[in-house]
Amino acid sequence: NWTMANFIDTEIKRIRTLVGPSAEVIGAVSGGVDSTVGAKIMKEAIGDRFHAIYVDNGLMRKNETVQVKKTLDEGLGINLTVVDASKQFLDKLKGVTDPEKKRKIIGNTFIHVFEKVASEIKPKDGSQIEYLLQGTLYPDVIESISFKGPSQTIKTHHNVGGLLEDMKLKLIEPLRELFKDEVRDLGQLMGIPEDLVWRHPFPGPGLGIRVLGEVTPEQVKIAREADYIFIEEIKKAGLYRNISQAFAALLPVKSVGVMGDQRTYEQVIALRAIETTDFMTADWYVFDAKFLKNVASRIVNEVDGVARVTYDITSKPPATVEWE
Ligand code: XMP
């Protein structure tokens, strides 16, 4: 009979047989539930022959990098390499305002950095990096079969940098039969901290698409601080698990305000919180007016450069979840 505990045992055995006694595996971790559960399974199966790589792109949420180190390295004992590539990403994004261009730059830079780090990992004598862990879930499998052809993900990885192709890495996808809620159950069963298991999804391009228009270190900082306050208040109010995803976006417009007897002219934050089951359609979350009032006041008072806060009351469709 199928139980989650059986699934873990079977999957670990399958991976051990597949990888054999000496080959090594690399995989990117993001701090999200999928990549963390994937990494934990690999760790259980082959120990330090699994190498997790975390790329700090300078577009992560507040304290995220420190948190990932703490959870994966200290907490779960995963063999982790952390790379700070913030400068590289932010340099490449200078002057770029088009959302799709930003996505492409962030994606390509990620692969470039990941490949470089992967090529510097030197496994023990006689062994070789042969596999790449991917946190593909069942819905991704379905989508790639029906819309893109089964190996689109592999192809995009291969085409960009070339190195992963040269290394001729084979894919390991331990989560490919699971839905998101099953990955969460699995994470809980494997001792991954509750906070991480229930974390809202965060897009690969990170704050790069939540700072609208040009991405600069100063703009990222404003978006990051505002987002932190919003999420902190959501957690304090006990609402985090009722909401599917919530974040702050920084709009590229200035607005007039007044602070004391001073006229200000500063930027605008848009708050977004949604409820959804599949992210294809979504409703905006109905907060108490009191809650919103408090968040707005905290953001304007605590975040330099913000003079106004708005709440996004658009459903998907016609709006998307993200602003870019
Ligand atoms: P949209 O904005 O398309 O978002 O309604 C639906 C879900 O997808 C996430 N999202 C992304 N995730 N790379 C990602 O990894 C991206 O470029 C990207 N764009 C949107 C979004 O956060 C939401 O959960």
ipTM: 0.99
Of 73, 322, 36, residue with least CA distance to 188 = 36
Residues 178-200 have a mean pLDDT of 96
Predicted local distance difference test score (pLDDT) of residue 157: 38
Mean pLDDT of 100-115: 95
Residue in the block written with tokens 């702050």: 248
Start-end of H helices in 47-98 = 64-68, 86-93
What whole-number distance in Å separates Cα of residue 63 and Cα of residue 65?
A: 6
Q: Answer yes or no: is pLDDT of 273 > 90.
A: yes
First to last CA, the chain: 45
Nearest Cα residue to atom 8 of ligand 1: 203
Give the residues surrounding ligand 1 with Cβ less than 6 Å away: 103, 201, 203-205, 245, 279, 316, 320-322
Q: What pTM did the predictor assign?
A: 0.92
Q: Which of 211, 279, 284 to mutate to test the pocket of ligand 1 (most atoms within 8 A of CB)?
A: 279
Q: Which of 317, 324, 312 is nearest to 230 (CA)?
A: 312
Query: With 80 as the cut, is the pLDDT of residue 216 above it?
Result: yes
8 A C-beta contact, residue 9 and residue 115 = no
d(CA 176, CA 172) in angstroms, rounded, equals: 9
Average pLDDT over residues 255-276: 96
Task: Give me the pLDDT at residue 150, please.
Answer: 42
Q: In this model, does residue 126 exceed pLDDT 80?
A: no
Binning pLDDT at 50, 70 and 90, where does residue 160 land? very low
**Residue 89 pLDDT more than 70?**
yes
pLDDT at 165: 65
Which residues fall in the annotated binding site for ATP? 30-36
**Which residues neighbour 1 within 8 Å (Cβ) at sequence distance 6 or greater?**
none
Judge whether 30 and 203 are in contact, CB under 8 Å.
Answer: no
The CB-based long-range contact list for 149-157 (8 Å cut-off, 24+ gap) reads 157/111, 157/132
Task: List the one residue out of 203, 201, 313, 323 whose CA is nearest residue 251.
Answer: 323
Residue 166: per-residue pLDDT: 67
Nearest CA to ligand 1 atom 9: 203
> Which residues, at least 6 apart from 163, have a Cβ–Cβ distance to it below 8 Å?
115, 116, 118, 119
What average pLDDT does this structure show over 215-229?
Answer: 98
Q: Is the model's pLDDT at 153 over the cut of 50?
A: no
Identify the residue whose C-alpha is closest to ligand 1 atom 11.
203
- Kindly report the average pLDDT of the chain as a whole number: 92
Q: Which two tokens stand for residue 269?
A: 């934050």
Residue having the nearest C-alpha atom to atom 16 of ligand 1: 203
- % of residues, the chain, pLDDT over 90: 85
Position 164 scores a pLDDT of: 65
